Amino acid sequence: MQHATITRSTQASRIAGILALCFLVYIGAAPWWAGSADLRLITEILFYLALASMWNLLAGYAGLISVGQHAYVGLGGYLMFSCVLFLGMNPLWSIPVAGVAGALISIPVAWLVFRLKGPYFAIGTWVVAEVFRLSAAQMSSVGGGSGLSIPVAVMRDLGRKPDREMLIYFTAFALCVGAILLVYFLLRSRVGLALTAIRDNEVASSSLGVKIGRIKLFVYVAAAAVTTMIGALIFVTKLRISPDAAFSVNDWTVFVIFIVVIGGIGTIEGPIIGTLLFFLLREFLADLGAIYLMILGAMAIGIMLAAPKGLWGLLVSRYDFSIFPVGYRVRR
């Protein structure tokens, strides 16, 4: 009888993993080699990568196609402002507070939107984001429709400008790596197994005892918490908040969805590829404004027609390769 061994990783994925780790250390050390402008750009890339990873977790793995995640980005921004202005907290310490609050708020939201199935769930999440935006515009304590700025003194408390930028950079780096690791370890855990089962056949997995509602709720709340934290940090770097900027569907949902879809939905690597491509395109095409958005929309449509698994999916189907192995392989 032949013996079969079961492994998660391959030689190639181990080597790629080590290379990825080196690259990660290099990016982590950016404050020492990048100028101020570059550092800001990398920070923004990290934000988008984290947002994309969370949307990918929702849509790509749990089948929860939300077009309303900007609700949580904006919520995070406003929670951070509230902590700073009303509780006198340090902006960075307000991030975990925002995360917890975001998770708590997302539970009743989930209770409501989970009543809507499939594509209607998508628009339901959008309504929730609209409600958040309109509510923020009604609250005069946070500046109403015109918004407000972080007092200079609060930012000065974070240290001198270079120290402050470094601090914010490391927080963004930690959030982004944390978001990707969360997805990675979640998928390798029992939750990941359950998610795979649900994706393959919802009815069958339910009859085998997978608690579908509970698993989806868990994923939704986790994604909401992380997205809220990213939102809080985004508005620490922006220094100013207004309802339209905080709950911008273009900035925090459209771009994120296009990133994930173009890079490859349902893979951990997809959002990374998508984010890099998105920023590369932006460097060259952002001046075109409206045409840039049309190109992104057309690319997303093209991907759905030609390669629904995105650019990374295209690569994997050809070379059977993975940097973040979450499945099992059988070798004889």
Partner 1 sequence: MEWINVIVQGVLIGGLYALFAAGLSLIFGVMRLVNIAHGDFIVGAAYLAMVTITMTGLHPLLSLVIVVPLMAAIGYAIQLGLLNRVLGDDILPPLIVTFGLSIILQNVLLTTFSADSQKLNAGALEIGSIPVLPGVDIGYMPLLTFVAAVAIIAGLQFLFYRTSMGRAFRATSDDGEIAQIMGLDNRKVFAWAMALSMAVVAVAGVFLAIRANFDPFMGPSRLIFGFEAVIIGGLGNLWGTLIGGIILGVAQGIGAQIDPGWQLLAGHIAFLVILAVKPRGLFPRID
Q: Which of 21, 291, 317, 327 binds partner 1 (CB under 8 A)?
A: 291
- Report the nearest approach of partner 1 to the CB of residue 26 (Å): 33
Q: Are 79 and 94 in contact (CB under 8 A)?
A: yes
- Report the nearest approach of partner 1 to the CB of residue 127 (Å): 6
Q: Which of 96, 308, 317, 327 binds partner 1 (CB under 8 A)?
A: 308
Binding residues among 54-73 for partner 1 as defined by CB under 8 A = 59, 65, 67
Q: Output 174 or 291, the one with its CB closest to partner 1.
A: 291
Q: Annotate each residue in 208-247 with x if it binds partner 1 (CB under 8 A) or - if it does not, as one string.
A: ----------------------------------------
Q: Are 242 and 89 in contact (CB under 8 A)?
A: no
Chain centroid to CA 42: 15
- Report the nearest approach of partner 1 to the CB of residue 318 (Å): 21
The region that residue 324 occupies, defined by phi over 0 for left and psi between -120 and 50 for alpha, beta otherwise, is beta
- Report the nearest approach of partner 1 to the CB of residue 247 (Å): 12
Q: Output 11 or 146, the one with its CB closest to partner 1.
A: 146
Q: Output 11 or 250, the one with its CB closest to partner 1.
A: 250
Q: Annotate each residue in 265-284 with x if it binds partner 1 (CB under 8 A) or - if it does not, as one string.
A: x-------------------
Find, among 63, 97, 67, 62, the residue nearest to 79 by Cα: 97
- Encoding tokens for residue 310? 């995105």
Interaction of residue 293 with partner 1, rule CB under 8 A = yes
Interaction of residue 296 with partner 1, rule CB under 8 A = yes
| DSSP-assigned beta bridge partners for residue 6 | 330
Q: Output 151 or 297, the one with its CB closest to partner 1.
A: 297
* Segment interacting with partner 1, rule: CB under 8 A, options 21-29, 42-50, 150-158, 289-297: 289-297
- Report the nearest approach of partner 1 to the CB of residue 290 (Å): 4
Residue with token string 């793995």: 61
Measured CA to CA, the distance from residue 294 to residue 234 in angstroms comes to 26
What's phi and psi for 303, nearest 5 deg?
A: -60, -45
Measured CA to CA, the distance from residue 12 to residue 271 in angstroms comes to 20
- Encoding tokens for residue 254? 């459209």
Q: Is 328 helix (H, G, I), strand (E, B) or coil?
A: coil
Binding residues among 85-144 for partner 1 as defined by CB under 8 A = 112, 115-116, 118-120, 122-124, 126-128, 130-131, 134-135, 137-138
Q: Output 46 or 137, the one with its CB closest to partner 1.
A: 137
Q: Output 83 or 137, the one with its CB closest to partner 1.
A: 137
Residue 251 per-residue DSSP state: I
Interaction of residue 300 with partner 1, rule CB under 8 A = yes
Q: Which of 84, 223, 229, 261 binds partner 1 (CB under 8 A)?
A: 261
Q: Which residues of 224-252 are buried (b: 16+ CB within 10 A; e: fewer)?
A: bbbbbbbbbbbbbbeeebbbbbbbbbebb
The count of other CB atoms within 10 Å of the CB of residue 163 is 11
| DSSP-assigned beta bridge partners for residue 331 | 5
| DSSP-assigned beta bridge partners for residue 329 | 7
Q: Output 148 or 307, the one with its CB closest to partner 1.
A: 307
Q: Are 142 and 78 in contact (CB under 8 A)?
A: yes
Measured CA to CA, the distance from residue 332 to residue 313 in angstroms comes to 26
Measured CA to CA, the distance from residue 73 to residue 255 in angstroms comes to 13
Residues engaged in binding partner 1 (CB under 8 A): 59, 65, 67, 112, 115-116, 118-120, 122-124, 126-128, 130-131, 134-135, 137-138, 249, 254, 257-258, 261, 265, 290-291, 293-294, 296-298, 300-301, 304-305, 308
